[in-house]
Amino acid sequence: MSDTNTTRELLRELPAHEVREEIEALVEELFRDALLMEADEELPLQVSYFDLGLTSLRLTRIKQQLEELLDLSINTNVLFNEPTVEQLVWYLTDLLAGASAAHLPAQ
């Protein structure tokens, strides 16, 4: 099983309230890495990632990583219109919930 399928499948198996926590942990890890932060440094979730020093190029790389890991297409406009980690986590949570709902059998 590939990493993409593993991450996506693991998230699908979690209760809804835990999905956001897992997505937040994943997003925080990618942002800390891109911002060259230590694991114990606090990443402000409500501050624009551009104010934290993230460049458009690095943001594009994070977007690609998230799309691969979560097997989702992320609208680039969201990254620039709602530029905080917290807003991105909520967007991805909603997007994943919608994608998972699309895979449910019709009733």
Q: What is the mean pLDDT of the chain?
A: 83
What is this structure's pTM?
0.79
Helix (H/G/I), strand (E/B), else coil: 104: coil
Residues present in the chain in total: 107
pLDDT digits (tens, 9 = 90+) for 45-82: 999 999 999 999 999 999 999 999 988 889 888 888 87
Residue 34's DSSP bridge partners are: none
